A and B are shown apart, each in its own frame.
Chain A
């Protein structure tokens, strides 16, 4: 399943260097995001449950709402998420709906086996696009985000 193409929005006049934003710990979960051209890669880390899902929602909200600075696409890097409850799945559904409403795209990448099993059992892969890796998600998007990401992140293992 491919990420839906972004809207016809003009590319961002940003350098390809990543712009980063760190929220820090949200109870037992941490959240940070990096911007690669017109795509934000957001990285929650930890356990997303009824205690932490609200924090994730608050952290994602500025990325989801329509604004001049809103990214046309968001990739959620779930490589650091070891559990997600229904409260967290709800946040993903809200995020998908908000992005769809403004003709943006959102995908979840690099699911750990437990989280993948939860997605399978709840059929959440029909709610939000799922990719094996962040690279795969970026590759499915038009624009220069993948090239920017590779320049910044390539040395790391993804």
Chain B
């Protein structure tokens, strides 16, 4: 594995900046630049980079879709949220529609925000492409077929040109897929979800979204510590604050940044990436959560530092 690329990072629903929010960002940047001069593009870039994500960019965006670049010509994706669309556009642009490709897609679960990108996943329409969709749910195929046809969508699943296969993976055992060792863990979420631990070429990535940690079962906590053990990167469902996750939003199936740090510390993980952002949070709030998470990591650290990042559409993490 060489790199992780985030195509969709938002939970529940895609979100987009409004014209007013973009205008506010421009206004903040201009106010900060008042009286400055930029002698070169480099100076201008330095200024933009100093502004912070909440001013110079946006976290986005699309719902869950994460690409793991393995170094092989075959593609590996986690989930088919709306982020699958820009991924597919990029893949088609790179190879052209006439060059058959193989896509391995690992599904955390089949809630709408994780499958909504498939009807607009262009590679599925192109004969010659091979799409293998993996998961632990027995109704994985039925769920994708159900949304792909009348009355929900104008094209029926049967009309798709690619060769599409569904592969059931048993949790708790290692599977060899696309040159990686892949292990699933059952997670607490309505209708169940599965976390994935990918290992290849001395690197380990854990993708664990839509997973609630109830904090009352030590054995469950230890199962996750073992699942995360020594991972290079853990992509973690941090949709809610800790207080929300254990009170008003208990049993909603999601976790918090605080639990992410604790589990990653206990498992000696190298990097935690906060993921599946609450759609009600704006860019400034997500930036604040990131800063608070880094502070919490620092004060509770007893071992090597845990790098904390937060996902945004377009983020690359080199492995």
**Is the CB–CB distance between B262 and A85 below 8 Å?**
yes
* Assembly CA distance A86 to B258 (angstroms): 7
Instruction: Determine if A61 is an interface residue (Cβ-Cβ < 8 Å).
Output: no
* Selected contact of B296 from candidates A53, A54, A90, A118, CB within 8 Å: A118
A-side contacts of B39, CB under 8 Å: none
A124 to B243, CA, bound (A): 8
- A22 interface hit (Cβ, 8 Å): no
Question: B240-261 vs A: 1/0 string, CB under 8 Å?
Answer: 0111001100000000101100
B 256-276 contacts with A by CB, 8 A: 256, 258-259, 262
Judge if B221 is at the interface, Cβ distance under 8 Å.
yes
Given A86-B242, A87-B216, A114-B299: A93 in contact with B247 (beta carbons within 8 A): yes
Number of A-B contacts (CB under 8 A): 49
Interface residues of A in 45-95 (CB under 8 A from B): 50-51, 53-54, 83, 85-87, 89-90, 93
* CB-defined contacts of A127 to chain B, threshold 8 Å: 243
Q: Is B295 in contact with A53, judged by CB distance below 8 angstroms?
A: no
Counting CB contacts under 8 A, is B201 at the interface? Answer: no
A89 adjacent to B242 (CB under 8 Å): yes
Q: How far is the CA of A117 from the CA of B292 in the complex (A)?
A: 11
Q: Is the interface of B mostly helix, strand, loop or mixed?
A: helix
Contact assessment for A90 and B300 in the assembled complex, using a CB-CB cutoff below 8 Å: no
> Beyond A85-B262, A93-B243, A93-B246, is A121–B296 a contact (Cβ under 8 Å)?
yes
- Shortest Cβ distance from residue B89 to the other chain A in the assembled complex, whole angstroms: 40
Indicate if A9 sits at the interface (CB-CB under 8 A): no
Within 8 Å CB of B241, what residues of A? 123
Residues of B within 8 A of A152 (CB): none
For A113, give the chain B residue with the smallest CB separation: B299
Chain A interface mostly helix, strand, loop or mixed? Answer: helix
Of the candidates A90, A121, A124, the one having the most CB atoms from chain B within 10 angstroms of its own CB is A121
User: Nearest chain B CB to A133's CB is how many angstroms away?
Assistant: 22
* Chain A neighbourhood of B216, CB < 8 A: 54, 87, 90
**Chain B residues with CB below 8 A from A123, complex form:** 241, 243
- Residues in A neighbouring B243, C-beta threshold 8 A: 93, 122-124, 126-127
Q: Using Cβ atoms and an 8 Å threshold, which residues of chain B touch A50?
A: 215, 218, 221, 262
CA distance in complex: A84, B71 (Å) = 42
CA distance A123 to B241 in the complex (A): 10
Task: Specify the chain A residue showing the minimal Cβ separation from B256.
Answer: A86
> Does A53 lie within 8 Å of B299, measured CB to CB?
no
Name the CB-closest residue of A to B250.
Answer: A90
Q: Is the CB of B296 within 8 A of A86?
A: no
- Chain A nearest CB: distance from B264 CB in Å? 13
Cβ-defined contact, A86 with B259, below 8 A: yes
B299 and A51 contact, CB distance less than 8 A: no
CB neighbours (8 Å) of B300 from chain A are 83, 114, 118
- Whether the Cβ atoms of A121 and B295 lie closer than 8 Å is yes
Complex A-B: 5 CB contacts under 8 Å: A86-B256, A86-B259, A89-B242, A118-B296, A123-B241
Q: Which residues of A contact B (CB under 8 A)?
A: 50-51, 53-54, 83, 85-87, 89-90, 93, 97, 114, 117-118, 121-124, 126-127
- Shortest beta-carbon contacts, A-B, top 5: A121-B296, A87-B215, A117-B299, A50-B221, A90-B246
